[in-house]
Structures are given as structure tokens and as C-alpha cells.
Amino acid sequence: MSPLLPLAGGVVLNAVAQIALRYGSTGNKEERAIPPRFWFIVWAMCFAVATLLWLIVLRHTAISYAYPLLGAGYILVTLLAKWLLREEIPPLRWASILVITVGVLMVGANQ
């Protein structure tokens, strides 16, 4: 099995964990009805499963290949921050995200 599937799963869960942590610690206008404890539980569970997936990936994959691909987390967190948290992303940050995307694709091209 390609390591990219559990790797992507881990990156997604990690990103969800970050957003949940943000909801839990600051609250959100639409999410106010949901108690912070819920978001901390979501964070902890996503974090735990993501760590487990990372161990599964690392067991059969070169760390010089898998570790840089975790940089994809920056891309996903930025997108989620814009869509879910309504954060304003300055142009230069989009440029940084584009550079990271190119780097991740370069590393991901050859296992």
C-alpha cells in the first residue's frame, strides 16, 4: 500500500485537530453553543489517531521522504483557517503556501 494514503489521513486529522484547538480556546460565533470541552476531545482524538498513522507510515517509508511531506499541513491549515475560521490570508502568505506546495510535490514525486 502506498504510504501516501495514511500520510494524507494523518495530515488531514492534524489540521482538523488544529482547527478544533482554535475553536476550543477562542470560541467561534457559530460554535458558541458547543462547549469547549467537546473541541478539546476532538483535538485529542484527532491528534492521537494522526500520531498512530504517522507511526504506520514511518515503519515502511524513508523518513527523508515522509517527514517533508508533513509540510502539506501548512497548506491544509491555511485553507481551513480561511474557510472555517474566516481568517484573512495576506497575499504573501498565499505565496508562501504556493512555494511549500511546490516543494511537497517535488519531494512526493519520487519515493
Partner 1 sequence: MKATGEVVLAEGAALSAARPSSDGSMRPEALAVISVVLGAIGQLIVKAALLFWNDVSASAPAHHGLLLKALAGVFAGLLVYAGGTWFWVKAVARASISLLYPISACSYAVVAIGARSLFKENIEPLRWAGIAVITLGVAMLSVSNARGSK
Q: At residue 100, what are phi and psi to the nearest 5 degrees?
A: -60, -40
* H or E stretch at 76: helix 72-83
Write the binding mask 52 to 91 for partner 1: x where contact by CB under 8 A, - elsewhere.
---x--xxx-xxxx-xx--x--x-------------xxx-
The rounded distance, in Å, linking the Cα atoms of 77 and 92 is 16
> Residue from 15, 17, 76, 104 that binds partner 1 (CB under 8 A)?
104
The rounded distance, in Å, linking the Cα atoms of 26 and 20 is 10
Q: CB of residue 54 vs partner 1: minimum separation in angstroms?
A: 8
Q: Which of residues 25-54 bind partner 1 (CB under 8 A)?
A: 51
Instruction: Copy the grid coordinates of residue 69.
Output: 511531506
> Residue from 5, 41, 48, 106 that binds partner 1 (CB under 8 A)?
106
Does residue 28 contact residue 80 with C-beta atoms inside 8 Å? no
Q: CB of residue 36 vs partner 1: minimum separation in angstroms?
A: 19
Grid cell 476531545 is found at 41
Q: CB of residue 73 vs partner 1: minimum separation in angstroms?
A: 10
Q: CB of residue 33 vs partner 1: minimum separation in angstroms?
A: 26
